[in-house]
Structure 1
Amino acid sequence: MKRKAVSVLLCAAMAVSMLAGCGSSDSGTDTQSGSETSDTGTDESGETESDMQYVKDKGTLVVGITNFEPMDYQDENGEWIGFDADMARAFGESLGVEVEFVEIDWDNKILELDGKTIDCVWNGMTLTEDVTSAMECTDAYLQNAQVVVVPADVADQYQDEESLSDLSFAVEAGSAGEDEVSALGLNYTPVTAQADALMEVAAGTSDAAVIDLLMAAAMIGEGTSYSDLTYTISLNSEEYGVGFRKGSDLCAELNQFFADSYADGSLQECAEKYGVQAALIQE
């Protein structure tokens, strides 16, 4: 599939600010009292165990994703690839664990995380207030936007927010796109994934969709499966981050990994592989 390069900003100042907002946790055993951790993730003194140690002990980092090209999607052999998928595998390797990708209902991502069916949400996740209040989130590593997708032959009619009022939208439930159309008071139907929103527009069951700019650039337009669709206006600007359980010490570890990967060039190399143009932000 042809991919269009999209200019997004990768936050390089994470080496300085990588610990901001990231809580560290005590180990599973209190060395003074000798109390042991329970299956609930807390020891007898009520202190939280190390999330990193929990992942290392079981030997697997379970990553919650959706089908979201170019971040996480399957190749012809059914293997998960993409910018986020490749970086997640590299992070798992740095921890000495295997990485398992699990497709989740995006609207239930926090429940999945807290229930320990997954260990992180790493899927082009927008750092909204709801997300950052419920998860331990990394520093932003990409900038993005929510864009309006319509059939190309009517795109000239929908070039500003006022022109959208009579349209019916399909949006991923629990997504930043849903937040935007809801805030604008637009008529919409929630669907399971952003890919489903595109199918709704292609089938004519919805007039438009709101999806991530990165996905729009990779999946619609000339040379793609949705050559008759295009995107018009951006409804916002936003940042992507990775989410862990509250208090997880994996957050600071991933911030350091991002900073190291930027410094050694591997992050930029991965970005170029998936048609994402990296740019250094000067402080």
Structure 2
Amino acid sequence: MKKFGRNLLWMATAGVLALGMVACGGKSTTGSSSGSKEEGSTQAGSEQAGTEKAGEKAEAKMEGSNGSFTVGFDQEFPPMGFVGEDGSYTGYDLELAEEVAKRLDLTFVPKPINWDAKDLELNSGNIDCIWNGFGMEGREDSYTFVGPYLANKQVFVVREDSDISSLSDLKGKAVEVQKDSTGLTALNREENKSLKDSFGSLTEVGDYQNAMMDLESGACDAICMDSVVAEYQIKTFKKKAKVLSESLTEEQYGIGFKKGNTELADKVKKTLLEMKEEGAIDKINEKWFGTTEGFILQ
């Protein structure tokens, strides 16, 4: 109680002093703050410019969730998106996305997702887009796409010492394919029915990393997968595997946004084209694929 009484007395005293200062110095304070008309307009102009600049930044961040750009990807899909040796998320698509976010003044958030739940993640707003070797064929009406930006094929990978050399040699063999992938979609088409029916078995797996391990161990005879991923796996990780020369289908990758989200999609496309014009895309392509060619966005 004593401490409280002292504080109350101090506050009362401070209040009296403040009133005295206002009464004595109010006139001169008013005079100094008004200054000249020119100073006042300069300050107002500066404040207005700052407000406009903040408004521009807010507009740039409008489409991202709280100023962020959240990209959904399969973390077992090198070289497009995966977990690097240091434990961080990396990959060709993620590097493109991160640079786009930086240029749009958005915080880049890579979010690994279950590939077969990607539509749920997108439609619920958990992610802003699907950017991870996402084949456009057959999905054109389901998303607002930016693309195509990269060409790809669906191919079959077999062990290096395998006697399988053509699609017809897959008869009676154990084949694996990723769930909800373009490869699975292609195999389910009518024109590929006879090929699919010729397999001894067709197993859907969660990711291609496990499929490659199954191939190495002999748990399967072939994998239907993206050529970009297959070639990267074989080259980078020295896999004792080979890609059959006959491809199942050709496709093109796109960046999938929720249907109708044209504003953010247009910003991303414009930024990618600027990066292409400036040569930034060439550097990223060279890093991941050893060539400046391949990026086809127009």
Deviation digits for residues 206-235 of structure 1, max 9, x if unmatched?
1110111111111125x6252x21111321
Q: Is 1:229 the equivalent of 2:241?
A: yes
Aligned-partner Cα distance in 2 for 1:167–1:51 = 52
8 Å contact kept, 1:110–1:134: no
Partner of 1:189: 203
Q: Is 1:158 the equivalent of 2:165?
A: yes
Structure 1 counterpart of 2:108, from 58, 74, 99: 99
Provide closer, same or farther for how the CA distance between residues 64 and 115 of structure 1 changes in structure 2, counting only shifts above 3 A: same
Q: Is 1:272 the equivalent of 2:286?
A: yes
Once the 2 structures are TM-superposed, how far is the Cα of residue 167 of structure 1 from its aligned partner? 1.6
Aligned-partner Cα distance in 1 for 2:290–2:267 = 24
CA-atom RMSD in angstroms: 2.3
Amino acid at match of 2:135: T
1:236-251 paired onto structure 2 within 5 Å:
236-248=249-261, 249-251=263-265
Partner of 2:215: 201
Q: Secondary structure at 1:202's aligned position in 2?
A: helix
The gaps in structure 2 that reach 5 residues or longer are 1-58
Aligned-partner Cα distance in 1 for 2:60–2:209 = 32
Aligned-partner Cα distance in 2 for 1:165–1:110 = 34
Q: How many residues align?
A: 228
Deviation digits for residues 97-140 of structure 1, max 9, x if unmatched?
111111111122111100111111000111122x2222111121
Q: Is 1:87 the equivalent of 2:96?
A: yes
Tell me which moved more, 114-123 or 197-206.
197-206
Provide closer, same or farther for how the CA distance between residues 236 and 188 of structure 1 changes in structure 2, counting only shifts above 3 A: same
Aligned-partner Cα distance in 1 for 2:188–2:290 = 29
Provide closer, same or farther for how the CA distance between residues 279 and 176 of structure 1 changes in structure 2, counting only shifts above 3 A: closer
Amino acid at match of 2:258: R
Once the 2 structures are TM-superposed, how far is the Cα of residue 172 of structure 1 from its aligned partner? 0.7
Scaled by the length of structure 2, what TM-score is found?
A: 0.71
Runs of 4+ with deviation above 6 angstroms: none
Q: Secondary structure at 2:97's aligned position in 1?
A: helix
Partner of 1:178: 184
Scaled by the length of structure 1, what TM-score is found?
A: 0.74
The percentage of aligned residue pairs carrying the same residue is 27
8 Å contact kept, 2:145–2:255: yes
Once the 2 structures are TM-superposed, how far is the Cα of residue 250 of structure 1 from its aligned partner? 1.2
Amino acid at match of 1:59: G
The gaps in structure 1 that reach 5 residues or longer are 1-49
Once the 2 structures are TM-superposed, how far is the Cα of residue 279 of structure 1 from its aligned partner? 4.9
Structure 2 counterpart of 1:141, from 117, 141, 149: 149
Partner of 1:255: 269
Aligned-partner Cα distance in 1 for 2:290–2:141 = 28
Q: Is 1:60 the equivalent of 2:68?
A: yes
Aligned-partner Cα distance in 2 for 1:215–1:69 = 6
8 Å contact kept, 1:63–1:102: yes
Q: Secondary structure at 1:76's aligned position in 2?
A: coil
Aligned-partner Cα distance in 1 for 2:230–2:171 = 21
Aligned-partner Cα distance in 1 for 2:102–2:280 = 14
Partner of 1:126: 135
Once the 2 structures are TM-superposed, how far is the Cα of residue 51 of structure 1 from its aligned partner? 11
Larger Rg, first or second structure (1 or 2): 2
8 Å contact kept, 2:149–2:295: no
